[in-house]
Amino acid sequence: DQQVKQNSPSLSVQEGRISILNCDYTNSMFDYFLWYKKYPAEGPTFLISISSIKDKNEDGRFTVFLNKSAKHLSLHIVPSQPGDSAVYFCAASVQGNKLVFGAGTILRVKS
C-alpha cells in the first residue's frame, strides 16, 4: 500500500518553461511534505518542504503547493534549466516520524 504516489514516471520540458511535478498521498495524518532531487550515481538531496498548515512555500525558482482537501501537492520549477534534469522524489511524514517516499519522477529539461 503506497501512501505517497507519483503517477508520472517521467516529464519532458523545454528550457525556460515551467515544470510541474505532481504527488498524491493517501494518509491524511501526514503533516510535513518534502521534495528531494537526485542525480545519477548520487544520493537524493533536499530541495524544499512544506508544513500542512501552509498551502504554498517558495524558494527561488522552486515553489511547492499543497492542497490538503485533494491530498495533492505539486512542485513548480520556473524557469526550468537543463541542470534541473534529475529524478524528483516526493516524501511525507507524520509528526516528525519516518519519511515515506514516492517512486520519483524523471524530469528532462531540453535546451
Partner 1 sequence: DTAVSQTPKYLVTQMGNDKSIKCEQNLGHDTMYWYKQDSKKFLKIMFSYNNKELIINETVPNRFSPKSPDKAHLNLHINSLELGDSAVYFCASSPQRSSYNEQFFGPGTRLTVL
Contact between 32 and partner 1 per CB under 8 A: yes
Contact between 33 and partner 1 per CB under 8 A: no
Cβ closest to partner 1, residue 2 vs residue 14:
2
Give the Cα separation of 18 and 108 in Å (integer).
12
Q: How far is the CB of 104 from partner 1 (least distance, A)?
A: 5
DSSP string, 81-100: -GGG-EEEEEEEESTT---E
Q: Which of residues 48-77 bind partner 1 (CB under 8 A)?
A: none
Q: Are 36 and 45 in contact (CB under 8 A)?
A: yes
Contact between 35 and partner 1 per CB under 8 A: no
Site size for partner 1 (CB under 8 A): 20
**62 backbone dihedrals φ, ψ, rounded to 5°:** -105, 130
Q: Are 31 and 51 in contact (CB under 8 A)?
A: yes
Segment lying near partner 1 (by CB under 8 A), choices 19-27, 44-52, 54-62, 73-81:
44-52
Per-residue cell: 110: 531540453
81: helix, coil or strand?
coil
> Would you tell me which residues interact with partner 1 (CB under 8 A)?
2, 32, 36, 41-46, 89, 91, 93, 96-99, 101-104
